A and B are shown apart, each in its own frame.
Chain A
Amino acid sequence: MIKTLQENFQKIQKFALLGGIVAIYLVAVGMVETFAQRNLIGTSLSLGHAFLVLGPIGVGILIAQAMKESETKSIYVAGFLAGALSSVSLILFNIVIQIFVIQADPDAVFYLRNMFVSFTPTAFEFLTFGQGMVLGNILLFLFFGLMGMLGVSFLRFPDKIRRGWINSLIWVLAVGLFSENVAQILRELFGPGLGKIIFSNKSMNPVAAIILFAVVFAFSYFGLKKEASDKWAAMPEEKQKKGRVFIIIMAILFVAILPWLVGLFLSQALFIIGMYVMMGLGLNIVVGYAGLLDLGYVAFFAFGAYTMGILTTTGALGRSDLNFWMALPFAMLIGVLWGLLLGFPVLRMRGDYLAIVTLGFGEIIRILALSNWLAPFGGGAQGILHIPQPEFFGLSMNSPQAMYYLVVLGAVLAAFVTIRLRDSRLGRQWMAMREDEDVAEAMGINLIQTKLLAFSIGAAFSALAGAIFAARLGNIFPHSFNILISINALALIIVGGLGSIPGVVVGAIILIGLPEMLREFAEYRLLMYGMLLIIMMIVKPDGFMPEARRSQELRDEKDTLPKQAAGTEG
C-alpha cells in the first residue's frame, strides 16, 4: 500500500493543491461565510459547510478516477491524504486572520480587512469549528481528510450501495436547500402541520433528514426506478402510446395547477422563468439557428416594455389609452421594426464583431433611455409609472398566478412558432447559414432576407416578453434594461443547449428559477453564471439538452470525419 501511495504521491500533491485553491477561493470570495448563515439540517450543518467541502470531495473523486487500478484500501488512504492536504490553504488562511485581523490594530496604516472583506473573525470561527487556533485547525485537517474519503466513496462503493448513497445525499441536501419551497408545497397539499414537523426555521429537522435518507436509499438500493422502466419497456406498443398521452396530459395539468400549488412568491418566480423562456426561444432563433451572436438582445426587450408603457400608462407620459391586449401587437410590431432596423447595418458582419456591435446597440439604447434628451418620451431616469395590469373579461390580472398563465401562453406560442420555423424552409436556410455563410449564399440562399427574418422574429419574442414584463411590474426604469438581461438569456440557451427547445426551458429553470428560489445565492448568482459558461463550454459545449445537429457541428472535425466515412452521419 505504501508503495502505491509513493507512486501516486505526485498526483495526490497536484490534486490537493487544486482542492486547496478551490477551498480558499470559496472562502476568500465570502461564499462559505455568507452561506454559513443558512442551515440545511438542524443547526449544525449549513450551506456553508456544503460549499466548504466542495474542494476536498472533488479531490477525492479525482483521486478515485486517477487511481482506478489500485486496490480500494490504498485509494481511500490517498483520498484522505489529498483531502487533508487540501486543507493546508485554509489553515494558512486561519493563521493569517489570527495575526493580521484578530490581533491587528484596525486603525493601522494597513488593516487587512479593509482590503479583503471576507477575512473576518466569523470566518475564522466557522473554519475552526469554534475550537480555537490549534485544536480547530487539527479538526479542519481531519475533516477535510474525511471529505476526501467521502469523494472516493462516490466512485468506489459497491455499485448498489453507491447509487443509494449518492441519491440519498442529493435528496437530503436538495430538500434542505429548498426547504422554504418544499414547506410551502406541503402546506398547500396537507395543511400546516406536516411542514412544521419537518422544518424548523428554514432548516430540516435531523430526524426527518435521516428518514428521508433511508427512504431514498431503500428506493435506489432495491432499484425501484429501474424496475419501473423495465416494466415500461416490456409493455406493448399500443399501451406505451396510451401511457405517453397520459403523461402528456398529466404534464399539462401539472403546468396548469403549478402556481396554485406553490403559492404567491414562487408564482412570481415561475412568471420570471416563463418570461425568460420566451426570450430564450427568441434568442435561440438568432443565436442557435441562424448563428448570429447577439449581445444586445435586451434592446428589443426594452422596446417592447417601453411601447407597452407609453401606449397604456395612465400617467403623464401616456400617448394613447389602449388597453394591454390592444397594445400587445404594437409592442411586437415595434420589436420587429427595430429588429429590422438594427439588423440591417450589421448584415455584412459575422462572429465577434457582430457580438460587439449588438452589445453597443444595447448600451446605446439604455443610455438614450436614461438621458434627458429623450425624457419627454420615455421619462428618462424616472421611467414610466402607472402601467395598468391587463384585464381578462373584466377581471384584473393583478396576481402573479394570472400573469403566469399569460406568460405560459406566450412561451407556448413562441415554442410553437419556433418548432414550425425550424422544420420549414426558412429554418433549414438559417442552419445552412450558421454552418457556412459563403456556401449557403452559393447555394442560392438570400442571406439578407434570412438574416433579417432571424433578427426580427427573435426581436418580436423579446418585445413580447418586455411588454408582459412592463404590465406585470407596472413601472419600468431604464436601469432594468441592462446588459445582464442579454447575458442571462444567452447563458440560459447555452446551458440548455444551443438550438434546443427543451434546452431553453431547462436552462431557464436552472439559471433563472433556482436563483429566484434560493435568494441566499443572490450575491453570487453572476459569479456562478460566469463559471457555468466557462465550464459548460469546456466540458459540455452542446448543453444539457443538446440539439442533434448542433452537437454534431460542435464536435471536432477530426471526430466526425471518420464517422461520416463509416456512414453513421445523423
Chain B
Amino acid sequence: MLKQFLDRFSWVDFFMRLLQVAAVIVIIVGIFNSLGATKYTSGQWVTLVFAGLAQGSIYALIALGYTLVYGILLMINFAHGDVYMAGAFTAVFLANSLAASGFLGAQPVISVLLLILLAASVSMVLNVVVERVAYRPLRGAPRLVPLITAIGASFTIEYTFRGLYGAEFQSYPIIPALDGQFLTLAGFEIPWTQIVVLVAAILLMVSLYFFIERTKIGKAMRAVSEDKEVARLMGIDVDKTIMITFAVGGALAGAAGVFNGIFRPQGVFFFMGFIPGIKAFTAAVLGGIGNIPGAMVGGLFLGVFEAIGPNLILEGLGIPAVNQLRDAFAFTILVLILIFRPQGIFGERLAEKKA
C-alpha cells in the first residue's frame, strides 16, 4: 500500500494540490469576511449580478466563436476578440448617424436590428477573410504555427481599423426608449438595457443551438469536428464547412459588439477587443472548449463571477480599490481554470483528441 503510494507520489501533484487548497481557502476566507462585514445590501448584489449577466451574455456570444473554431480546427482563433471589435467599431458610425437623424428614437427596434445586421456582416466577412488568408494555408502545420499567425492576424486587424477609423474613442448613442428605464422585479430595480441584451443574446444562442443540431449545415459542422477525413469521405466539403463555422462565429461576435454598445455606451476603439477576447476564451474553457451550451453557461458564469467576485472575495481580504483589479481577477480565474480544470465545468467533448 505505502509503496504503491510512494511510487505514484509526485512532487508536482503535491504542490498543485497545495496550490488548489490554498486558492480555495483564500476564496472562502474572502467570502466570509465580506459577507460578515455586510457592506452591501442585497439590492446591490442583485444589481451586480444582473450587470454581470448582461456582460456575461456578451462574453458568451464571443466565446461561441472560440468554441466553434476550436471544435473544428483545434486552434485558438486569437484574432476573435478583434473580429468582435471590428463589428462594434463599424456599427458605431451607423448608430451615431441614426441617432443624429432621429431614427433611433423613433424606431429603436428596427435601428438596433440594422446595427446588428451591419456589425454581424462586417465581423462575419472579416473572420472568413482571416481564415482564408491566415489559417487555411497552414492546415496541417505544427500547432505553434497557426497560433503565431493568429497573433499576427490580431495585430493586423487592430491596426488596420486604427488606420481606417482613427485612434479615437467613439461612443454609442444612448437609446432614448431604454434610457433610465428600470424593470421592477421582486422589489429590485433592473435596467432595461441589461434585460434586452440578456434576452437578445439568449435568443441568438438558442437559435445557434438549433442551427447546429437541426440543420444540414450544422450536421456537417458536427461531422467535420468529429473527423475531417471521414467527413470528407462522406461527401462533405470540409473547407466550406470550416468557412461557414468562421462566418457564424464572426457574426455572433459582431452582434455581441452591438450589445456591448447598447449595454454600456462608454466607447469603442481599435484595441477594445483584446481583453474581452481573452475573457471570452476563459468562458469557452470554463464551459469545456468545443462544447456549445458550455460556452453559453461559461460566459454567463464568468460575467457574474467577475461582477461580484472582486467585491465578494478580494474586499474580504482587505485589498483596497478592488475595482481596479477586476481584469486581474478575471485573468486569475482563467489561469486557475486552465491549470486545474482544463476540461471545463461540464467536461470537454474533445478531451481525447487533444493529447
Contacts and interface: CB of A to CB of B under 8 A. Distances in A.
B142 A554 contact: yes
Interface string A346-376: 1111011101110111011001101111000
Given A533-B149, A537-B148, A353 B101 contact: no
A541 interface: yes
Interface string B281-314: 1000100000000000000000000000000000
B61 to A, nearest CB: 19
Contacts of A85: none
Contact of B331 (A31, A116, A364): A364
Instruction: Indicate the member of A25, A31, A531 with the most B CB atoms within 10 Å.
Output: A531
Given A360-B334, A371-B325, A373-B321, A534 B134 contact: yes
Nearest to A26: B163
A533 B155 contact: yes
Interface in B127-183: 133-134, 137-138, 140-149, 151-160, 162-166
A201 interface: no
Interface residues of A, number: 59
B13 to A, nearest CB: 9
B206 interface: no
B155 A356 contact: no
Interface residues of B, number: 60
Interface stretch (B190-198, B216-224, B249-257, B335-343): B335-343
A227 interface: no
B325 A293 contact: no
B19 A29 contact: no
A52 B153 CA distance: 22
B109 interface: no
Interface stretch (A39-47, A172-180, A257-265, A522-530): A522-530
A367 B328 contact: yes
Contacts of A526: 155, 158-159
Contacts of A538: 134, 137-138, 149
B278 A29 contact: no
A533 B331 contact: no
Nearest to B145: A537
Contacts, number: 168
A115 B310 CA distance: 37
B328 A29 contact: no
B152 A363 contact: no
Contacts of A364: 328, 331-332, 335
Given A109-B100, A356-B278, A356-B338, A530 B76 contact: no
A363 B328 contact: yes
B152 A534 contact: yes
A349 B336 CA distance: 12
Interface string B1-43: 0000000000110011001000000000000000000000000
A480 interface: no
B106 to A, nearest CB: 14
A228 B248 CA distance: 60
Given A527-B155, A530-B152, A534-B156, A356 B281 contact: yes
Interface of B: 11-12, 15-16, 19, 75-76, 93, 96-97, 100-101, 133-134, 137-138, 140-149, 151-160, 162-166, 274-275, 278, 281, 285, 319-321, 324-325, 327-328, 331-332, 334-335, 338-339, 342
Given A357-B338, A527-B162, 18 more contacts: A25-B160, A117-B166, A118-B163, A295-B151, A345-B16, A347-B12, A351-B143, A351-B147, A356-B281, A360-B335, A368-B328, A448-B12, A529-B155, A530-B153, A537-B145, A537-B152, A541-B145, A554-B145
25 contacts: A109-B100, A109-B101, A110-B97, A117-B164, A293-B147, A347-B12, A348-B12, A352-B76, A353-B342, A356-B334, A360-B338, A363-B327, A368-B328, A448-B12, A487-B151, A526-B155, A526-B159, A527-B159, A529-B152, A530-B154, A533-B148, A537-B141, A538-B134, A554-B141, A554-B145
